[in-house]
Amino acid sequence: MSLPFIPRNVATKSKKIQSTKDREVNISSACSPRIPLSIAKGKEQDKPDIDEPAVLNKSSFSDKEYASLISLALSDFALFSDPDLRRKIDEGEDGFVSLLHILKHALHGILISESETAAAKALRSEATDSIEVRMVFSGPSWSAQGSFKNKGMFEVRRKDPQNTFTRENWKERTLYLENIPVQYASLPGVFHLTQVLLTKTTDTIASFNRIQSISIPPHHLDKPGDIPKCKGFALLTLLDVEDVQQLLREWPWTLVVCATDVKPAISEFQEATKFGFRALSKTRWDEMKDEYLAYRARLVKEIVSYEDEMAAHAATKRRRSPSPAISSIPDTVETTLTSSSLFPPKCLVFVRNLHCETNKTTLRALFSKAFTSLPDGLDYVDFTKGMDSCYLRVATPEHARALTDYFTQAKMAQTNGLDSEGSRDAETKAITMETMGGRREEIYWEKVPPKVRHEAVDKALRLLEPETTRKDEGGQKRARRR
């Protein structure tokens, strides 16, 4: 019995076609029950793409970035500055702490939305020499907190022993970095840039513990609870004093160009040089900050003194040489409130010795404490950010007296920019108040829009008029508006 002759190429092709068809039949039969009804019965009858699975829980950071951030969260400086973390580690078994706790509470909440599984995987691949990771099979009490209950359970601990330093030791190991390149303006970016500048190589896996902390100072416009964003400057804390001296020597605050100063041909060094990257010790940075605040306070006092002098000079000049057109106008501002008044007199208070980092919301809460028996007294807080003085517009002269009497007797000061309670701090100048009058008061109200002035007059009249009726300028009586 002879077999039919089939050419080799044709036989191979037919086998491939047959195997492909069999594979398609098996896949379609295996996957057909899993197709949702919305796809099977919908207008579009396209088959779902089964070759590319959906990507779930895509992480925001790479494995190296995860390792650097969690290394910062478990550093010696983090343990020194975070008592709650130290307590968690002491309560944990063998020094382990919940990785979930690190993601939720460390580094200003930057990792709060990250996957615990992705973080553990990154640590096992990039930080095996410094951080130990283990999985917990018996669910502890923290395993079912909110949306994190289905993300797995991991615990971490450091492998190297803890170094104990005092506050002064950490201060001498802290630097202020400025002109950070844009592409490195983040916590992982500053971490990577610092590692490369210290080691002069891009292979920096073995030097995680050299960097202890990276702090980004918040902007004065940031709201409480906002994650600070790097604006090109940051505070860096290192483990070794030699590393601090190296950065200060190679990236000085005042640029000194030397013939032998040749930077390595590495992109990080080139970008740092292009942006003018420089470093300054934390001690010197604090001194420069105090000098700046003192200089700004002196400028504010000089401006206020100059404005007062110019207002007094203008009033004296007007009294000595009155214009014929206004010779009948009295030199003093009218203090009687009528419906035709340009502004409510004796309702403007000038405040000094405020904290330079305060804001209008804090000041309103602070000054409202003087109106416990006189509600609805503070109309407007005229404050400019960065100044240590402001103007307060109150409803009636009685509110102005109550405000000045309260703070004159209390002798309180603001200890920080968000202090809305006030404290009797002997080292800080107490808040002082002065009720404005005369020409100075008139000059201020001239800059206020007419509509606002009229509303202030109407409000003062409503609060000062009798309970039932009052006389207007013509002598006629009219009922009080309800």
- 256 and 371 housed in the same domain: no
CA distances from 264 to 198, 205, 253, 389 (A): 12, 19, 20, 51
pLDDT mean over 393-409:
88
pLDDT for residue 6: 56
Within a domain: residue 24? no
- 170 and 159 housed in the same domain: no
* Last residue of one domain, picked from the residues 314, 331, 359: 314
Between 181 and 465, name the one with better pLDDT: 181
Distance CA 196, CA 247 (A): 11
Within a domain: residue 130? yes
Lowest mean pLDDT across 116-120, 161-165, 223-227, 256-260: 256-260
- 419 and 448 housed in the same domain: yes
- 156 and 173 housed in the same domain: no
pLDDT for residue 138: 59
- 155 and 182 housed in the same domain: no
The CATH number linked to 156 is 1.10.10.10
- 302 and 174 housed in the same domain: yes
- Domain carrying residue 215: 165-314
The CATH number linked to 243 is 3.30.70.330
- 367 and 452 housed in the same domain: yes
Within a domain: residue 333? no
- 113 and 204 housed in the same domain: no
Q: Is 438 left (phi over 0), alpha (psi -120 to 50) or beta?
A: left
pLDDT for residue 349: 92
Within a domain: residue 199? yes
For residues 468 and 478, is the Cβ–Cβ distance under 8 A?
no
- The per-residue pLDDT for range 17-72, each reduced to its tens digit, is 454 444 444 433 433 343 344 434 444 444 444 333 333 345 688 888 998 999 99
Q: What global pTM score does this model have?
A: 0.53
- 253 and 354 housed in the same domain: no
Q: Total domain count for the chain?
A: 3
Tokens of 147: 């949306």
* Last residue of one domain, picked from the residues 314, 337, 360: 314
Within a domain: residue 321? no
DSSP letters along 35-86, please? S-HHHHSSS--PPP--SSPPP-S--SS-HHHHHHHHHHHTSHHHHHH-HHHH
Within a domain: residue 289? yes
- 318 confidence band (pLDDT: 50, 70, 90): low
Distance CA 148, CA 114 (A): 10
- 157 and 176 housed in the same domain: no
Within a domain: residue 478? no
Within a domain: residue 356? yes
- 244 and 383 housed in the same domain: no
Q: Percent of the chain having pLDDT more than 70?
A: 74
- 195 and 211 housed in the same domain: yes
pLDDT for residue 9: 60
Mean pLDDT of the chain: 77
